[in-house]
Amino acid sequence: MFLEPYHHETAKSGWIEVICGSMFSGKTEELIRRINRAVIAKQKISIFKPTLDRRYDEVKVVSHNKNSLVSIPVENSKEILEKVGDSVVVGIDEAQFFDEDLPEVITILANRGIRVILSGLDMDFEGKPFGMMPQLMCIAEFVTKVHAICVCCNGVAQHSFRLNFSEEQVLLGEKDEYEPRCRACFNEGMKEKEFVKMKKIEVLG
């Protein structure tokens, strides 16, 4: 069982928490829950998200369940250092979209005594490690992997299966673009997509 860390003003050092998983697994929901607990404890908080994520709101961090918190959109991870102020708890959503400076930035924050909570996709639409997520998970004190339910078999889903044939790694979308799948159903779907691609090539050829 995951024991949620408790941060207080007299802590000698901060720490890093990573919440990861597929789409529709509740990553942002869990980030919001932890931040809300810090708010109840009257701790000073800041929340950041990448500016490219405008699916639900340009400013707010919003979960699929429509729960939300006001955040600060930033173009790059170093902006976080400039805008964190005197916060003792920092939340970062959609961490997979940030640049390669993010591991260094959150390490600086944790070394200042700040509790840093990040959420993000650990794998992309091909099932490969996404962005800086592997590095973030390695340097974190706490890693929580959450899961969705496979839409095909109702099993435990850890993959985000892309429903269209785009090969762009970053493609923002919701249920019309992605669905959660378990390993077996994800692999089956990828085989089917590859078969369709090959047929199209044959027809065009």
Please state the rounded mean pLDDT for residues 71-100: 95
Which helix (H) or strand (E) is 91 found in, with range? strand 89-92
- The topology under which CATH files domain 15-148 is Rossmann fold (3.40.50)
In this predicted structure, the answer to whether residue 170 has a pLDDT above a threshold of 70 is: no
**pLDDT at 54 (0 to 100):** 57
Compare 51 and 175 and report the one with higher pLDDT.
51
Average predicted confidence (pLDDT) for the chain = 86
Distances (CA, A) of 77 to 15, 51, 103, 158, 176: 17, 11, 9, 26, 29
Structural contact between residues 117 and 7, judged by C-beta atoms closer than 8 angstroms: no
176 vs 116, higher pLDDT: 116
**What is residue 118's predicted lDDT score, i.e. its pLDDT?**
98
pLDDT value for 168: 75
Q: Which residue has the tokens 């004190």?
A: 141
pLDDT of residue 196: 83
* Residues forming the active site: 94
Q: Where are the domains of the chain?
A: 15-148
% residues pLDDT > 90 (the chain): 71
**Confidence at residue 26, expressed as pLDDT on a 0 to 100 scale:** 93
